Amino acid sequence: MLFLIGVVSACLAAVAYGMSTVLRALGARRVAQADRERGVDDTNSAGGPTLTSTMSTLVDPSFILGTVMVVIGFAGGAIAARFLPLFLSQTIVSANLIVTALLGTIMLNIALHTRDWVAIWLVVLSLCLLGFSSSTTTGEGEEASIHWGLFLTTLVAAGLALAAVYKLGKHGAIVGGAMSGLLFGIIAISVRILDGVHPFEPTTLLLDPAAWTIAVAGAVGFFVQTVGLQLGAVNGVTAALVVGETAGPSLVGVVFLGDTAKAGLGWLAVVGFIGAFVGAVLVAWYGSGDPDHFGEAPPMKGGWRRGREDDYDDEVEFDELEAIDETAPDVPRIPPVPDDAAALNCDLTTDLGSGPDLDSRPDLDSRPADDLRPDDVRSDGTDRGPVRNGLGHRPSD
């Protein structure tokens, strides 16, 4: 029964986290677009977002709703971490990547191609393998030193994460996603080993370093993910987060906390874990060309090849060019002004856009030699022919 509760809670966390990511990405996009329309520079010297822009993002209505979904997701994930092996609970929670990708097509104008669907279904099928092979019980053998070690590790990871997203500028999106995922993974481990939960003892719980770890990792991870969403594409950031929050806790659970698979199915658990991990990486790789935090991106290349087109202008169809040409306004041409109106028999009141009548002009051969301009004679001494208009252009030019 507890196993079933854990699975349902993990699924709830996946849906809530997926919705949260899309809503917060939408809030970050709206703030970035508003700042640009006002002419406000919301980037620092390294190209990353300023603290002011991040604070503005945090109070956007869409972002606030996304934050509420984070709380729901955290509750579901905490229950799953207590009742399931970490390699199972965290892998199910990582399915929030699928929710993010699907909602992103509706709310963020992100196009999913065949390659994206294949990667997404790879994650889904791998999760099924992992769930089938996982043991229904959790290990109990954590030591007290793990609590303090986890807290110190969190302090170091939090400092590195904050420095990275602000120092790397526009390149900090994926790093921000990965570091926030690592911090969220640490939360799952801390919830699993937290003292004073059963039976409930508030004093013991508050004095446990694992509780401090949850507070620090939760706050910094949330902030770093927000900055990552301000910097880059939502699917890429989320996939990096999924890798971080899945790999670390799974390894710790197996090595230190006694998590195991069903007897004889360890190989299937490994296959499922690797498949889910690879699928998440592929979604991140393919999603790195998605619309950025402004909602802007060049057209996507089709097929299996990753990336976006750089030379889109070269691939515009001829009929599109023709349509553009037909809709372009007519620009009147400047009427030519001949050097010698009398010699060219040209009326200076020529209509706008019309040139002098070529047939009404005397041929150069009939003009006196002293009337010829130097450029009317070729370098070999032969005549260049009649002048086309008063600006000196000739058919042979």
pLDDT < 70 positions in the chain: 46, 136-142, 170, 284, 287-397
Question: Which pLDDT does position 151 carry in this prediction?
Answer: 93
Q: How far apart are CA 300 and CA 284, in angstroms?
A: 15
Tokens of 370: 């002293």
Please, are residues 207 and 144 in contact by the beta-carbon 8 Å criterion?
no
Please, are residues 132 and 161 in contact by the beta-carbon 8 Å criterion?
no
What is this structure's pTM? 0.66
At 149-171, the pLDDT tens digits run 899 999 999 999 988 887 877 67
Closest alpha carbon to 249 in 182, 193, 194? 182
Local structure of 374: helix, strand or coil: helix
Tokens of 18: 């997926």
Q: How far apart are CA 142 and CA 81, in angstroms?
A: 14
Q: Which residues pair with 377 in a beta bridge?
A: 383
Please, are residues 84 and 138 in contact by the beta-carbon 8 Å criterion?
yes
How many residues comprise the chain?
Answer: 397
Q: What angle do CA 51, 72, 82 make, to 5 degrees?
A: 110
Residue 319's CB is within 10 A of a number of other CB atoms, namely 8
Residue 179's CB is within 10 A of a number of other CB atoms, namely 27
Question: Which pLDDT does position 330 carry in this prediction?
Answer: 54
Question: Which pLDDT does position 108 carry in this prediction?
Answer: 79
- In this structure, which long-range contacts are made by residues 198-204, counting pairs with CB atoms below 8 Å and at least 24 apart in sequence? none
Q: What angle do CA 27, 30, 31 make, to 5 degrees?
A: 90
